[in-house]
Structure 1
Amino acid sequence: MVLTIRLTRVVDRVISPYQTAFIPGRNILEGVVILQEVLHELRSTKSTGVILKLDFEKAYDKVSWSFLEEVLLRKGFSEKWIQWIRHAVQGVRVCIDINGERGSFFRSFKGLRQGDPLSPLLFNLVADALSAMLSRARDAELIQGLVENLIERGLTHLQYVDDTIILLKFSPRCLQNLRVILSCYEAMSGLKINFEKSEVYTVGLGEEDQRCVTETLNCKLGSFPIKYLGMPVSDQRITKAQLTYVNDKFEKRLGTWQCDYLSSGGKSTLIDSCLSSIPMYTMGVYQLYEGNFQLLDTVRSRFYWQGTGKKRKYHMIKWEALNRPKEFDGLGFLDVRVMNICLMAKWIDKLEREDNSLCCTILRNKYLGQKSIFQIKRRQGSQFWRSLLDIRDWYQRGRKVTIRGGHQTRFWLDCWLGDCPLNVMFNNLFQIATKPDIEVFEVFENGQWQIQFRRQLNGILRDEWIQLQTMLSEVTLTEERDVVVWALEKSGKYSTNTLYRLMTFGGIRDIQMMRI
């Protein structure tokens, strides 16, 4: 455990950004988003590409110990560290359990123990050797990666432990070089690629070129959507039918329960702890369709009122009422529509906070440049990106900007001076402003704040303008980038819980006030 903790502290510095597993600060969903954006870019620019999804046979069991030690040495680990790892990996004896009867213990000569917290980190180091080989081959122009306009020298691969996706431009020479690289990696690492289970996907290629790809790589041709890390990914929009696997998981989980005699409190606990958590993973990338939400609500409501029995029972209260927080006479069941928005808003927060991950770099280069997502007017892009544009107004309710250079902040519409946007504090001035979406840095010219209005300021408008000038006199712009904080948390860090409470509690209060 001590070795695991110490290795975790440095693993981010020694493993390439293409690996997203078991590394602090990296997220499994980043690989899904990157692959989706790459496929969308290929389709929108009418480019060609080859995507190879590798399948490793019993990956953990076949790692060569000598290769692992060589990787540690090349990464700069000391001889003492390598000796500790050697004792942790090799100093173990195993036995075979057959029908409850254990055989004699013997020593193994390769592989990593599954279940050991150190093993995923060590396997990442082994997998990073393939990453280094592909990167060097790209730099030597032996292979050519995709989307060179989004990432320098192009993207050649994505990894999540042993789940590896290789992305190349179509070229018989590149494919042959890739096959040699994979063969060399197999020989060195001890890992075995099962090409019969591996699949290759193509974008923009004809039948003859597809045949060339499958024959060179010796694996079958797959069809979109790709099932990557448990999520469907395609070069086209993911449909409602392709997301019904979330609903199928609901039904499958219910099929194993015997709850005919369970109390309402017990059912509530199962709904909160099991059923409501099932769609969380998918909702972190996709905005589900209304039909998907209705099915999720129907299954949970049916389970609460009639259990797993087939006999139908009367639903005494609408599900929307049960979703209300307990403070407002509900049972506090998860509102999946609201939670979907809160989970998607995490990506906006990553982009706003200058996250330097590979995923955010690609998104910025593709859509933002030096702008904030709130400055983007065009609603074009991938399914994922359009979802972020749809929910950004919800994120803005808790967003506050600490002004620096003013290039990423809208003067009237963002909260940067005071506790609310200036269009709320000075609505009369905002109504006659010639440029309602102007940025802060554009207003500050030659050391003075200059705003253009459609008519002359008199009376109340002049008083508001004087008050606004007084507030602006305390602001000084610099050359730095504006800093975004989450105003609903004392720490300033985004929390799905605070946005969820804002959306649910605020809406209920509004409804009750209307009734009064």
Structure 2
Amino acid sequence: MPSIDTDSHDCLEEEFTLEEIATAVSAMKSGKSPGPDGFPTKFYRTFSGLLCPFLSRLFAECLNTSKLPPSLYQASISLLLKKNKDPLECGSYRPISLLNCDYKILAKLLAIRMEGLLHQVIHSDQTGFVRDRHLFFNIRRLMNILYSPASGDPEVVVSLDAEKAFDRVEWDYLTAALYRFGFGPKFIAWIKILYFSPMASVRTNNLSSDYFPLHRGSRQGCPLSPLLFALAIKPLAIALRSNDAIQGIIRAGLEQKVSLYADDLLLFISNPDTSLPRALSVLKKFGSISGYKLNLGKSELFPVNKAALKCSFTSSQFRIVRDQFTYLGVKVTRKYSNLFQENFVALADRLKQSFTFWNSLPLSLIGRIHVIKMNVLPKFLYLFQCLPIFIPKSFFISLDQTFMHFIWNGKVPRIGRKHLQKPRSLGGLALPNFQTYYWAANFRAVLYWLQTDPTGPRPLWAQMESESCKPAALSSVLCSSLPVSLGKRCANPIVKQSLKIWNQFRLAFSLRGFSLSGPIKNNILFPPSLNDGAFGIWHSLGLSSLAQLFFDDTFASFSQLQEKFNLPQSHFFRYLQTRNFVRANTPGFPNRPANTAIESILELNELPRGAISDVYAIIHDLQNPSLVPLKTQWEKDLGEELGEDAWESVLRRVHSSSFSTRHSLIQFKVVHRIHWSGAKLGRIFSDFDPTCVRCKVEPATLLHMFWGCHKLSGFWELIFKCFSDIYDTVIDPSPLTALFGVLPMGTPLSRIQSETLLARRLILQNWKMAAPPSYKYWVRDVLCSLKLEKNKFNSRGNPKLFDEAWAPFRSYFKQSIL
């Protein structure tokens, strides 16, 4: 039985500090419903400085008395009716437990300390609630088992369904397990205190029942609950894995028996006639101790190979599924080729149906993009991470067509998709590029191939994939020049599909060349490294990648390498072999070639949080369309050249001019010239008069409609005079300020950008009218916008900043006679 180390044990036993309590308060999620006492998270965060000392004394008293105040034990349970269920049946409702925030702060303190050490005692076959372990680990591991070459013995996968697993954990068992895992007496005392006398009240139709005691189970909504359950289920995994009578499935020389994510348990079983009864016996015995109970009616058995398909399983208590089953939201099919149809195509079909509903709502362009980002992207991104399947470009073209039809509500798009996909910092609307996310999600998984430290946290699926292609290192294949093929070296379809996706990306951006990010040892293009142990010595001495052979962008001499890595003199011949290999594959040798996107991606081998976003940004930079033509059009209209700083300011102000998405959309359309001017309509329709409807003299170009028309001169002069009077600074009328909110260099009056945007909005409201917009209406709009600004500052907890920022405007308009 593994146990935590001494340092971790001592850390858990320490007293809570004020800094820890403040951290726990700030880590609490906002927007959650409060518990029975009615105090929300925002209350504790707002008054954290005042409350933390009181909480510290409260927790110390709780530890001394071995119990909490009665209110901390209380929970309110709300009932939500499940979809398509009978409202008269109790089992048709999903209970949602609401705990008081002071209880959750205490639990969060313990959880923060605990989550950093779970990996010490929890095996890598268990991923739920353990830091740096992800849900897709389980599915990718399952894919490797199902679709790699099988043995001749019958092999099955059993998906076990536990009945209310979190609610059935026995507390005596839980504290005994914590003791065996090495947790100290004070930490265990805290767990006993939290579960000393919990109570709950059921709320229905605005009526609450009397409080009743709870006698088992981890508490729903408690930050500590998932971590405690991960430890509670751990002994079951140990018992199954260590039982020699239960035969697992062997892939790439590694035996696989158990896969756990929270209460979702998979068993990988060979010779099920003898192994399954033994596994069920272990499960039954564990249930008698812990409270764990199987729901055999919902548990499924999936035959893996031909030998298993021939078995009848007539005596099996499980439901037999021979074609497909669902695991963690993914449909797992018998044939690898069917995964695409059952998951991606099926999701795309459901997406089209959901757009029918969203089309019925009065959504703006930005609102429709937000629907795609929040409702569609997470579903596809989950599949992208879990299923390493080569998806042809045609699928993404079809998706993009569906999105553009939805975004423009069936009308002809007025701006290209790639401009919508630009990041907000470059004046775009950050519409997700699904193919780029597909590449990024798959490459995040591929980066695990680069982890070569045998003591590091390498997931089991990555070990299986690496072992399936030995002696060649998979990282060397990633860095090879195209075309490259594993040939008969590897029979693992997951690896082959992953490499096919990687090569699809490289071909799309013409990144065919050799990369120095590849390893020296076990390099598929360097035959001596596959068998010669000397290169293994180099690796142990810290010389592992080809890029390390260059000092100051020049290939190092052997003496330089000896000095830095302490290479033996007897390895000089290996140095010559390596130099010859690098020379043959590197243009411009001995100089180091410039890094490409391949190196930028492969250098993310630390796999930080948000690795998918980092890879997405790298790839997206390769396909950003140029905005030079747009800049040139505005320069032509303005009659002056826009410097790079000025143009970057124009793009940045698309979203910084106002926190209102409607206003941001107005500025986006202005900058990207989306509005239909009379001159543009005149070029499209021969019978349309391109003359300005206001002055009846000049062509109605965009610049003329927003700025150049002499009927607008009085409107803009009054606005700029207002700015000059408010800030006691002469601000001359300028088309850059009027159109884009860009002020002359050295003018720090950022508030003007939002007020000029309101002026542009007023012009658009009077776009087809002969009369110019009224200055009086502009003042009205500015005063109305102050209400929104005040709400913004109040919501951020900075009401004084609102007074400081907008006091000049308010003072000026109070004195003005409109």
Give the TM bin, normalised by the shorter chain.
0.7 to 0.9
8 Å CA contact 1:403–1:416 kept in 2: the answer is: no
| Residue of structure 1 equivalent to 2:83 | none
Change (3 A) 1:292 1:120: farther
2:620 corresponds in structure 1 to 504
Q: 47-56 or 407-416, which moves further after superposition?
A: 407-416
The aligned runs of 1:202-281 (5 Å cut-off) are: 202-204=303-305, 210-212=311-313, 214-216=314-316, 218-239=317-338, 240-243=340-343, 244-251=345-352, 253-254=354-355, 257=358, 260-281=361-382
Distance 1:369 1:254 in 2: 49
Counterparts in 2 of 1:63 and 1:381: CA distance versus 1, 3 Å: same
1:126 matched to which residue of 2? Answer: 232
Structure 1 counterpart of 2:259, from 155, 158, 162: 158
1:199 aligns to what?
A: 300
- Residue 573 of structure 2 corresponds to residue 446 of structure 1: yes
- Cross-structure match for 1:91: 197
Per-residue CA deviations over 1:403-444 (Å, capped at 9, x if unaligned) read 98654486799655559999xx9xxxxxxxxxxxxxxx9xx7
The equivalent position to 2:469 in structure 1, one of 367, 381, 385, is 367
Offset at residue 501 of structure 1 (A): 3.5
Counterpart of 2:346, as a letter, is: Y
One-letter amino acid of the structure 2 residue matched with residue 334 of structure 1:
P
More moved, 338-347 vs 372-381: 372-381
Q: Give the total of aligned pairs.
A: 461
Question: Does the CA-based 8 Å contact 1:112-1:119 persist in structure 2?
Answer: yes
Query: CA separation in 1, counterparts of 2:185 and 2:159?
Result: 36
Pair 1:468–1:247, CA change in 2 (3 A): closer
- 1: CA distance between counterparts of 2:152 and 2:394? 32
Quick check: 1:5 aligned with 2:150? Answer: no
Number of the residue aligned with 1:356:
458
1:105-504 matched pairs, under 5 angstroms: 105-137=211-243, 141-147=244-250, 149-151=252-254, 154-204=255-305, 210-212=311-313, 214-216=314-316, 218-239=317-338, 240-243=340-343, 244-251=345-352, 253-254=354-355, 257=358, 260-284=361-385, 285-287=387-389, 288-290=391-393, 292-306=395-409, 312-317=410-415, 319=417, 322-324=420-422, 331-354=429-452, 356-369=458-471, 371-375=473-477, 377-378=485-486, 381-393=491-503, 394=505, 406-408=521-523, 445-446=572-573, 448-450=575-577, 468=589, 487=600, 493=606, 495-504=611-620
Alpha-carbon distance in structure 1 between the residues aligned to 2:519 and 2:308: 55
Q: TM-score, normalised by structure 1?
A: 0.77
CA contact (8 A) 2:156 2:301 kept: yes
Is the Cα–Cα contact under 8 Å of residues 94 and 107 in structure 1 kept in the other structure?
Answer: yes
CA distance in 2, matches of 1:80, 1:451: 58
Partners of 1:325 and 1:504 within 8 A in 2:
no
Aligned partner of 2:805 in structure 1 is none
Higher relative contact order (CA 8 A, sep 6+): 1
Deviations 1:37-89 (A, max 9, x none): 0111254x555301110011111111111111121121111222212112223
Of Structure 1 and Structure 2, the greater helix share is in 2
Query: How many Å apart are 1:450 and its aligned residue?
Result: 4.6
Q: Retained in 2: the 8 A contact 1:35–1:233? A: no
Q: Distance in 1 between matches of 2:251 and 2:413?
A: 56
1:331 Cα deviation (Å)?
Answer: 4.0
Change beyond 3 A, Cα 1:398–1:353: farther
Tell me the distance in 1 between the aligned counterparts of 2:466 and 2:337: 23
**8 A contact 1:400–1:416 mirrored in 2:** no
Cα distance in 2 for partners of 1:59, 1:135 equals 20
Output the CA distance in 2 between the equivalents of 1:291 and 1:404: 35
Q: 1:79 aligns with which of 185, 188, 193?
A: 185
Give how far 1:511 is off.
12
In 1, the alpha carbon distance for the partners of 2:408 and 2:188 equals: 59
**d(CA) in 1 for partners of 2:217 and 2:258?**
24
Over the aligned positions, Cα root-mean-square deviation in angstroms equals: 4.0
Amino acid at match of 2:247: Q
Amino acid at match of 1:505: D
Secondary structure, in 3 states, of the residue corresponding to 1:116? coil
Considering only CA atoms, is the larger Rg found in Structure 1 or Structure 2?
2
Q: Which runs of 5+ in 1 are unaligned?
A: 307-311, 426-440, 455-460, 472-484
Asked whether the equivalents of residues 301 and 320 of structure 2 are also in contact (C-alpha less than 8 Å), the reply is yes
- In 2, the alpha carbon distance for the partners of 1:321 and 1:356 equals 39
In structure 2, do the counterparts of structure 1 residues 333 and 402 end up closer, same or farther at CA, with 3 Å as the change threshold?
Answer: closer
Matches of 2:251 and 2:602, distance apart in 1: 39
Q: Per the alignment, do residues 374 and 143 of structure 1 end up closer, same or farther by CA in structure 2, a change over 3 Å counting?
A: same
Q: Measure, in 1, the Cα distance between the counterparts of 2:233 and 2:445.
A: 27
Aligned to 2:744: none
1:368 to partner: Cα distance = 4.0
Instruction: Evaluate the alpha carbon distance shift between residue 34 and residue 489 of structure 1 in structure 2; reply closer, same or farther with a 3 A threshold.
Output: closer
CA distance in 1, matches of 2:278, 2:601: 53
The match for 2:682 is none
Partner Cα separation in structure 2 for residue 101 and residue 189 of structure 1: 34
Partner of 2:3: none
Judging changes above 3 Å, is the alpha-carbon distance between structure 1 residues 128 and 42 closer, same or farther for their aligned structure 2 residues?
farther
Q: 1:469 to 1:238 in 2, by over 3 A?
A: closer
Over the matched positions of the two proteins, sequence identity in percent amounts to: 20
Q: In the alignment, which residue of structure 2 is the partner of 1:59?
A: 165
CA drift at 1:105? 0.4
**Alignment partner of 1:298: what SS?**
helix
Deviates most, 196-205 or 445-454: 445-454
